[in-house]
A and B are shown apart, each in its own frame.
Chain A
Amino acid sequence: MVKHHLFWPVAVLAALLLFNFIYSPDFFSIIVRNGNLYGSLIDILNFGSPLIIVALGMTLVIALGGIDLSVGSVVAIAGAISCLLISKGTDQSAWSLVLMAIGVSIAVAIVLGLWNGVLVSIFGMQPIIATLILMVAGRGVAQLIADGQIITVSSKTYNYLGAGSLAMLPFSIFIVAAMFILVSLLTRRTALGLYIESIGCKPTASRLAGIRSRTVMLAVYMFCGLCAGIAGLILSSNVSSADGNNAGLWYELDAILAVVIGGTSLNGGRFSVTGTLIGALIIQTLTTTIYMTGVPPEITLVVKAFVVLVVCLVQSESFRKAIVARWKTRHYPAEREVKQHV
């Protein structure tokens, strides 16, 4: 069972939840208030939804052997565009206006994803470099759109996206569910998953096997842009405002972290969408836990640092071997060498 790729992520999540259960038993309690469900678990899903969505897109990019550093900036740009458009309207709650704003910002997000995809697949740039460009410039563009201000909107319709509720649950949870199902279907019901794993593992061999690598790459980066765009909408609608400077800050790092914790290797190849979901939940649970325990929230960063390290160490073959070698000294060094040099 330890061999199963979801074992470690699930174990960490379970341990976190267990800690919460011991520390404050009402962590698991869910109450009904004003016809809606409330409770820490609901909060985790609700507040974690933008991260989960960004991480889903990131999973596919990382599985391709790439990385997308620009998601945080795209989150900010998408939020800024939709808030700007809505704030210009006379009736900010009008459906047509809100839908138009959502449509435009999602289209822009996809175009930004396409830009990354073009740099990576057509210009052949290293993904970390290609997306760094948009990461740096995008933040400036978001501020440019918002003219350096925080744009606030008062649109009930728009606010529903990130703060409304449906069937007693926050609406954003349904968006997450829809995206999760969409990604699962795309990767497991179509050949896209096989293509992605194949390209992520061996790009040249995949091309020679007839896979249209370029199309797949473009599609995946566009999808990642789409995910970041949706996350940006949820975030900005939740607080009814867009902050070009701070919206989506560190999202790229949290998303990458979620993917890595979920068991997808940064080297590309095999990926696990479920793992990413759990990874993102771990990060969000951790944040919530820290709030609950009354430690100043800024300390989250320290804890995050240790979680990153522990998760990476657990996944690091060298580390596990070093530990195992303590009581099984004889065979492991040889095996490690075989791995490295064959």
Chain B
Amino acid sequence: MFNRKFIPIVVTLGLFILMFAVGSFRYTGFFSLQVFNNLLIDNAFLLIVAVGMTFVIVSGGIDLSVGSVIALTTMVSASLLEQGWPPYAVIPVVLLMGAGFGWGMGAIIYYFKIQPFIVTLAGMFLARGLCYVISINTIIIDDAFYTKVAQTKISLPGGNFISISVIIAIVVVAAGFYIAHYTRFGRNTYALGGSEQSALLMGLPVKSTKIKVYMFSGLCSSLAGVVFTFYMLSGYGLHAMGLELDAIAAVVIGGTLLTGGVGYIVGTFFGVMIQGVIQTIISFEGTLSSWWTKIVIGVLLFVFIILQKLLSERKWTLRS
């Protein structure tokens, strides 16, 4: 049976294929597995962040702090490495830091009933500011482990390759999918986004779910930060500026309702890929400037939001 709730995902997937096809017809060398792999390589951190963001948005919230947490992670990693910490200690520490940061925001949102928008805004300021407390300059990473991970290419048949970050990102997407659909935490998140009042009266653990959602997003952000560190090999307070918007856009383009309750990890995956394709097309085009990415993403957001609106209105008329 074809379930109409999958329409947004099908549209997202269709759009991705269409864009990839257009790129392939227009530019020589576009249609190759490696171009696709590069999408993954260049957007691995965005994928990871977007998975966490999907949970937050499905729960009916929003997390504006993700970009800043990535920057903070790169900064903390770089400065700890500079002080001679071994990588196997640095990575757990920054992951814990990210999760703890998210936990704190979630707790404030839950206990004091302040809008997530405001709390995570404060979190965004805080994390970005803490970067500068550490240093206002770039800290270059020359740790052997980090450079090795950054340079490792995992060969695929046919002469193509991916990076270790891609593996991490794919594992996160798979884990996100499993958590969303096959665990109580995941289902409680959807219930929370559908109706918090009902979730409470149904006896669901609203408190722990809400806090865990932000904790998960914080963890994803810091993991993305680790991946970002591999990618940039530096810590800098201006890293990942405005990434929260890219993540939110990817989630929405992936068919998740910003009002909460409905959302798809698979959709988010293709949402990120679509953004990647746009960037790739623009770079292949050569004459187009990078700001067209923002304009196209804005237009896509518009189209998808209108689409969701139409779908949900048709649902309404069916009901009444």
A223-256 contact mask (Cβ, 8 Å, vs B): 1 or 0: 0000000000000000000001000000001001
A23 interface contact, C-beta 8 A: no
Q: Does B117 lie at the interface of the complex (its beta carbon under 8 Å from any beta carbon of A)? A: yes
B174 an interface residue at 8 Å Cβ cutoff? no
Contact of A305 among B117, B125, B259, B309 (CB under 8 A): B125
Complex-state Cα separation, A244 to B305, whole angstroms: 26
B112 to A137, Cβ gap below 8 A?
no
Give the docked Cα–Cα distance between A234 and B61 (Å): 35
If A125-B305, A148-B291, A302-B133 touch, whether A137 touches B298 (CB-CB below 8 Å) is: yes
Whether A135 contacts B245 in the complex (CB less than 8 A), given A302-B126, A312-B112, comes out as: yes
Q: Answer yes or no: B89 CB below 8 A from chain A CBs.
A: no
Tell me the residues in window 116-137 of chain B with beta carbons closer than 8 Å to chain A beta carbons: 117-119, 121-126, 128-130, 132-133, 136
Given A128-B258, A296-B136, the answer on whether A309 and B299 have CB atoms closer than 8 Å is no
Please report which residues of chain A, range 3-52, place their CB below 8 angstroms from some CB of chain B when the two chains form the complex.
none
Is the Cβ of B295 less than 8 Å from the Cβ of A141?
A: yes
Q: Which residues of B contact A299 (CB under 8 A)?
A: 129, 132-133
B32 contacts the other chain (Cβ, under 8 Å)? no
Q: Does B294 contact A (CB under 8 A)?
A: yes
Chain A residue with minimal CB distance to B237?
A298
User: Which chain B residue has the least Cβ–Cβ distance from A309?
Assistant: B122
| Interface majority SS (helix, strand, loop, mixed), chain A | helix
A270 within 8 A of B: no
Determine whether the beta carbon of B112 is less than 8 Å from that of A298.
no
In the complex, whether B317 has a CB less than 8 A from a CB of chain A is no
Is A138 in contact with chain B by the CB < 8 A criterion? yes
Complex CA distance for A139 and B295, rounded to whole angstroms? 8
Question: From residue B154, how far is it (CB to closest CB) to chain A in Å?
Answer: 33
- Tell me the minimal C-beta distance from A309 to chain B in angstroms: 5
**What's the Cα separation between A67 and B305 when bound, in Å?**
17
Q: Tell me whether B295 and A319 are in contact (CB under 8 A).
A: no
- Name A120-139 residues within 8 Å CB distance of B: 123-126, 128-130, 132-139
**Would B108 and A304 count as touching, CB distance under 8 A?**
no
Identify which of residues 199-252 in chain B touch chain A, using a CB-to-CB cut-off of 8 Å. 237, 245, 248-249, 252
Looking at the complex, which one of A132, A138, A298, A308 makes contact with B136 (CB distance below 8 Å)? Answer: A298
Complex Cα distance A244/B292, Å?
13
Interface: A313 (CB within 8 A): yes
| B278-297 contact mask (Cβ, 8 Å, vs A): 1 or 0 | 00000000000111111101
* Assembly CA distance A314 to B229 (angstroms): 38
When the two chains form their complex, are residues B259 and A301 in contact, meaning their CB atoms are under 8 A apart? Answer: no
A266 touches B132 (CB 8 A): no
Contact A304 B129 (CB under 8 A): yes
Q: Which bracket fits the contact residues of A?
A: 35 or more
Complex: A317 Cα to B290 Cα, angstroms? 46
B302 in the interface, Cβ–Cβ < 8 Å?
A: yes
Chain B residues within 8 Å of A148, by CB: 289-291
Question: A253 contacts which chain B residues (CB < 8 A)?
Answer: 121, 124-125
Q: Does B115 contact A (CB under 8 A)?
A: yes
Q: Decide if A140 is an interface residue (CB 8 Å cutoff).
A: yes
CA distance A143 to B122 in the complex (A): 28
> Is A215 in the interface zone, CB < 8 Å from B?
no
Q: For window 269-322 of chain A, which residues contact chain B by CB distance below 8 Å?
A: 296, 298-306, 308-309, 312-313, 316-319, 322
Check B298–A133 contact: CB distance below 8 A: yes
Cβ of A182: which chain B residues have Cβ within 8 Å of it?
Answer: none
Q: Using CB atoms, name the residue of chain B closest to A316.
A: B112
Residues in A137-173 with C-beta less than 8 Å from chain B: 137-141, 143-144, 147-148
Known A-B contacts A123-B309, A301-B129; A308 and B122 likewise in contact (beta carbons under 8 Å): yes
Q: Which residues of A have CB within 8 Å of B290?
A: 148
Residues of A within 8 A of B299 (CB): 137
A-B contact pairs, 15 of them (CB 8 A): A136-B249, A136-B297, A144-B289, A296-B132, A298-B136, A298-B237, A299-B132, A301-B128, A304-B129, A305-B123, A308-B125, A309-B119, A309-B122, A312-B114, A313-B108
Q: For the A-B complex with A123-B306, A133-B302, A137-B298 known, give 4 more contacts whose Cβ atoms are closer than 8 Å.
A: A305-B125, A309-B108, A309-B122, A313-B114
